[in-house]
Structure 1
Amino acid sequence: MTDGTSQDEVAVAAAEPEAKSKPVEKASLLPPYDGPVLEVRNVHRSFQTGSRIIHVLKGIDMEVNPQQLVMLKGRSGSGKTTLLNMLGGLDQPSSGDILFSGQPLQDWGDRKRTSLRRKEIGFIFQAYALMPLLSAWENVELSLRMADVPRSEWKERVGHCLDLVGLTKRVKHRPFEMSGGEQQRVAIAKAIAHRPRLLLADEPTAELDSKMGAQVMAVFRNIIEVEQVTICMTTHDPTILEVADHVYEMADGRFIK
């Protein structure tokens, strides 16, 4: 999921739900809105290669409501990652509209979309996207630094997020000292640290075995309840679909009815 933006910029059993930590005061880019977090209206996306035009998305319509876990299911090449990129403001439709909390992203400039990604969206990558020389604690702390969260709040928030994903005993470990499932849980803690409204995850269980994949999905369900975040993710793994609130199946750039 890249457009020249660095991964840090866009950058177990689940713990029992606990009291939420004190919200970070941050200037809101978005006016109050009680509708869907995301609305996608007749979105098309095409790319030109030489004299050839490739149609990747062909009339996509969807909604993602608050505090839902929504999955985009499809094989490689179905268009699901292209759609996920546009939901995060990393790419724009060739035609159609994408609204984030009621605001049309195509009307925003690059600077405002970048600010939206830093403050309101968390990204999780298939390959974890952790800084290899930083500990789990330092990786999560880095996301707060990049989101301009006051330093005085870092300790409490980092501890809360790592506890939420079940890693309180691994906070000093670096990525190469952790299993794949543990690295992915650090990536989740990092993605939610700045309290985004939306979490976008690109194949978050693809590199994990079925047991670790189930643990990651349990963490997702827990953070939806505790953090009141909305999650949209891509997958081609049929074993995890049952935990979703809604599944959109894609093939050849369209949703299968």
Structure 2
Amino acid sequence: MAQWMRKKQPALPDPDEETQQEPTQTELVQENVAPGSPMSPNVETEPDEAGPLLRVSGVERSFQVGGLPLHVLKGINLELQPRRLVMLRGRSGSGKTTLLNLIGGLDQPTKGEIVFREHPFHRMGDDARTNVRRRELGFIFQTFALMPLLSAYENVELSLRMADRPRGEWKARVMECLELVGLAKRMHHRPFELSGGEQQRVAIAKAIAHRPRLLLADEPTAELDS
């Protein structure tokens, strides 16, 4: 297990406060992910790459609110290496979800650069970013983001379909992920037949099913039992 590395990141301003005030600091904590983990990429066929997995340089994100700019992120710089478990900590409203959306290609920065592997998200169009997300990124959202008419099994399988994974591996991988989160016996239930915690676990299984190179989790255990 690698030693913990702590790195102070540039401040993330609170959107509820005046933009001229000094922002608060956030902390980025990193740890190695063990090879062979169910959440890691396929290490047998995809060895670690040289260089960082993700680079964020001088990123800013602002929105127009009532005709005035609201600066949510300013001067964000970070670099992530492969097989790292990273935790971004900051108070509510400091822009953590906004930063995750930018890193995952769901949004684009007002200023700065975001490069995931060889993909410059800050310059790519919506369709190009979508193709990368389907194959190489996994998301665990606060709101689950499950298809309401699909069963737990079908929701997890959808991740493999969208990533263009070979059909022959779908069943085994779906069952592996559902068993990992303790829901193999609930695989035929739809989201409305599951508790909030069970829906969250399906969302986790769905996010890791296609073995993404980068897994982004926004409060992934908020609905789970303590």
Contact 2:157 2:170 survives alignment (8 Å):
yes
What whole-Å deviation, never above 9, does each CA across 1:189-239 have from its counterpart, x for those lacking one? 111112210111122223344x1xxxxxxxxxxxxxxxxxxxxxxxxxxxx
Counterpart AA for 1:177:
E
SS of the residue corresponding to residue 154 of structure 1 reads helix
Structure with the larger RCO, 1 or 2 (CA within 8 Å, 6+ apart): 1
Change beyond 3 A, Cα 1:19–1:165: closer
* TM-score calculated relative to the size of structure 2: 0.73
**1 or 2, which has the higher helix percentage?**
1
**What residue in structure 2 maps to residue 180 of structure 1?**
196
**Percent identity, aligned pairs only?**
68
Alignment of 1:143-182 (within 5 A): 143-182=159-198
What whole-Å deviation, never above 9, does each CA across 1:149-195 have from its counterpart, x for those lacking one? 23322112211221222322222222233333222111111111122
Change beyond 3 A, Cα 1:158–1:109: same
Alignment of 1:189-228 (within 5 A): 189-209=205-225, 211=226
Contact 1:40 1:97 survives alignment (8 Å):
yes
Separation in structure 2 between the aligned mates of residue 43 and residue 100 of structure 1, nearest angstrom: 14
The answer for unaligned runs of 5 or more in structure 2 is 1-35
Separation in structure 1 between the aligned mates of residue 208 and residue 38 of structure 2, nearest angstrom: 16
Alignment of 1:1-257 (within 5 A): 33-209=49-225, 211=226
Separation in structure 1 between the aligned mates of residue 126 and residue 154 of structure 2, nearest angstrom: 28
Contact 1:39 1:102 survives alignment (8 Å):
no
Separation in structure 1 between the aligned mates of residue 137 and residue 60 of structure 2, nearest angstrom: 23
**What residue in structure 2 maps to residue 223 of structure 1?**
none
Separation in structure 2 between the aligned mates of residue 18 and residue 124 of structure 1, nearest angstrom: 17
Separation in structure 1 between the aligned mates of residue 176 and residue 218 of structure 2, nearest angstrom: 24
Contact 2:204 2:220 survives alignment (8 Å):
no
Separation in structure 1 between the aligned mates of residue 38 and residue 219 of structure 2, nearest angstrom: 29
**1 or 2, which has the higher strand percentage?**
2
Once the two structures are TM-superposed, the CA of residue 134 in structure 1 deviates from its matched residue by 2.2
* TM-score calculated relative to the size of structure 1: 0.65
Separation in structure 2 between the aligned mates of residue 205 and residue 127 of structure 1, nearest angstrom: 12
Contact 1:38 1:102 survives alignment (8 Å):
no
Counterpart AA for 2:104:
G
Separation in structure 1 between the aligned mates of residue 121 and residue 207 of structure 2, nearest angstrom: 21
Change beyond 3 A, Cα 1:49–1:177: closer
Separation in structure 1 between the aligned mates of residue 38 and residue 103 of structure 2, nearest angstrom: 30
Once the two structures are TM-superposed, the CA of residue 119 in structure 1 deviates from its matched residue by 0.5
Separation in structure 2 between the aligned mates of residue 18 and residue 77 of structure 1, nearest angstrom: 32
Separation in structure 2 between the aligned mates of residue 134 and residue 18 of structure 1, nearest angstrom: 27
The answer for unaligned runs of 5 or more in structure 1 is 1-16, 212-257
Separation in structure 2 between the aligned mates of residue 192 and residue 18 of structure 1, nearest angstrom: 11
SS of the residue corresponding to residue 169 of structure 1 reads helix
Change beyond 3 A, Cα 1:38–1:82: same
Separation in structure 1 between the aligned mates of residue 57 and residue 109 of structure 2, nearest angstrom: 10
Separation in structure 2 between the aligned mates of residue 93 and residue 71 of structure 1, nearest angstrom: 21
Counterpart AA for 2:154:
E
What whole-Å deviation, never above 9, does each CA across 1:80-136 have from its counterpart, x for those lacking one? 111111000111112211111254222322221110011101111112122233221
